Structure 1
């Protein structure tokens, strides 16, 4: 019975990690689609408005039991993990950074998290994990190199995705170290989404419009971002953070660029270079090493007893 339970646990863990990578990649695919339909800021604003409407019925009961500091905690997570990540990346693309270049810089997130993990008790990177990190990083760089364009705009604009990476990394470490009050995942996600709506309302307003265009393509793109990138992407990310070590999550996230490239090839007919496959292989070799020296169970991490979402 223990063997069966262990196998089921491994299968569940694997499915969670796969769902996280696919959902995370879906955001890049969704923005690739909505970029042809209108402003990225406008699409992001209505992405979160719609997400809040969808989440409200499920979060309503849990909201009554929360204290003010719980709302502040989740609101800060939303501002840094969602607003602080998506806003600078969208701004960099609007100012001329190629999407492939922005994606490459943004996907240095796992490296940043692993390097900073020593600030969280019990999450220090050590031993074979450094070799795993090197393999995963090499795989991500090899897979993404073909889509990089550094001459598109001023150098300072390329710093915006770096700010996005630092913002989400800070939110990740903050949540791992101080998980806050236990609450349902949907309640936490609702609070975080509501916290960033004013941010993107201002950004969209500065571009001159906050009303959504009455076009089917725009609506489809926003719904895609709500279901896959918001509920799926951030939801699975924080659920995996509850269950696994920072190192294992970071290693799996290195698969996002090649998965995104393969997805774009299937959906949009973008050229698929052989380096993407090489990058996948290198990353897959590194992920098991990044998972060593940690016991990836909720019992291994006191924070694991809390439900987190974003």
Structure 2
């Protein structure tokens, strides 16, 4: 195997930061698109377009396809967990009226939950420094949310259940992807994952929503952004990071997304950031640094 070029090494080093920035823009796309379309309908359309786009890419580039039915099933389950389960839960909770900050805080437990399960499920060793970083990150996320959430909204049993479902599915989905889908080609595997997610979300939309779409420039831009930048770009980076690193350390990157999203919302929508939120951002940055330090043997 030939050694990596300087450009390849630089890109590999920049991948975590690039993933955090791209993943954080999902909030902006949802804010632009949801006034014109219902959550499950929006997500089903997004998954369908992403599946078709990756199908074209896979066919044009000669991507290898999974041949064993059991491997296809494992890839499909990862897609249902990481796409339909996680995004469906988050969007439904927000649609139920739960404050976005509360939903983000619930899902923000993911790095700690991933670390707790990575040992027994994947055999990964989590050191004291990593545990300290993960706990510090949870505190940082809480401070970011407290410093930017304006209040309002309501917490319903259905919304709370959806947020918890999103937490559990993205946590187990990350571990499942790491353990069972290491050899997945991102092009053909993406077709399978987005295809089954489109079917699942489409079924939910058919059963629970009107499926009416009010097309607008904002919706078209949001849909295109979420498909190309999130479903193709950010998810591809996430799976690459999972393949290359330990699940708990990759999950720690999710601690940075509330802070980055808050900065973007401040720049684009003039949402104010108080001192508490700024302190939380510093804590999350320190937490990710601690969580990604090498474990001492």
TM-score by length of 1: 0.85
User: Partners in 1 of 2:116 and 2:65 — Cα distance?
Assistant: 38
Match in the other structure for 2:283? 282
The answer to whether the Cα contact below 8 Å between 2:186 and 2:236 also exists between their aligned partners in 1 is yes
Report the counterpart of residue 11 of structure 2 in structure 1.
12
Q: CA deviation at 1:152?
A: 1.1
Query: How many correspondences in the alignment?
Result: 291
Whether the 8 Å contact between 2:36 and 2:215 is mirrored in structure 1 is: no
Cα distance in 2 between the residues matched to 1:19 and 1:109: 20
2:172 to 160, 170, 173: 170
Q: 1:204-243 residue pairs with structure 2 within 5 A? A: 204-210=205-211, 212-243=213-244
CA distance in 2 between partners of 1:242 and 1:12 (Å): 16
- Aligned position for 1:127: 128
Q: Are 1:201 and 1:210, in contact at CA under 8 Å, matched by a contact in 2?
A: no
Q: Which runs of 4+ in 1 moved over 4 A?
A: 4-10, 148-151
Residue 163 of structure 2: which of 161, 164, 177 is its match?
A: 161
1:77-111 CA-partner distances (Å, limit 9, x unpaired):
11111111011111111211122221221222212
Give the alignment partner of residue 154 of structure 2, picking from 142, 152, 155: 152
Instruction: Confirm or deny: 8 A CA contact 1:251 1:283 kept in the other structure.
Output: no
2:84 is the counterpart of 1:83: yes
Say which is worse superposed, 186-195 or 57-66, in terms of deviation.
57-66
Q: Which moved more, 1:76-85 or 1:111-120?
A: 111-120
Mean alpha-carbon deviation: is it higher for 12-21 or for 209-218? 209-218
**Which segment drifts farther, 186-195 or 147-156?**
147-156
- What residue in structure 2 maps to residue 69 of structure 1? 70
Separation (CA, whole Å) in 1 of partners of 2:239 and 2:150: 29
Asked whether the equivalents of residues 36 and 213 of structure 2 are also in contact (C-alpha less than 8 Å), the reply is no
User: Structure 2: how far apart are the matches of 1:178 and 1:77?
Assistant: 9
1:14-93 alignment runs, 5 A limit = 14-60=13-59, 61-62=62-63, 64=65, 66-93=67-94
Task: For residue 214 of structure 1, report the CA deviation from its aligned partner.
Answer: 3.2
**SS of residue matched to 2:36:** coil
Distance verdict in 2 for CA 1:194–1:156, change over 3 Å: closer
Contact 1:46–1:212 (Cα < 8 Å) also in 2: no
Q: How far apart, CA to CA, are the structure 2 residues paired with 1:18 and 1:37?
A: 31
2:116 is equivalent to residue 112 of structure 1: no
Pair 220,273 (structure 1): closer, same or farther in 2 beyond 3 Å: same
Change in CA separation of 1:110 and 1:148 when aligned onto 2, cut-off 3 Å: farther
State how far apart, in whole Å, the 1-side matches of 2:7 and 2:208 are: 50
Does the 8 Å contact 1:34/1:40 carry over to 2?
Answer: no
- Mapped partners of 1:275, 1:191: distance in 2: 43
Shift in CA distance, 254/148, structure 1 to aligned 2, threshold 3 Å: farther
Do 1:63 and 1:187's aligned partners in 2 also have CA atoms closer than 8 Å? Answer: yes
Give me the whole-angstrom Cα distance separating, in 2, the residues matched to 1:210 and 1:29.
Answer: 22
Q: Secondary structure at the match of 1:153?
A: coil
Q: What RMSD in Å do the two structures reach over aligned CA positions?
A: 2.5
Tell me the TM-score normalized by structure 2: 0.88
Separation in 1 of the partners of 2:107 and 2:150?
12
Superposition deviation, residue 155 in structure 1: 4.4
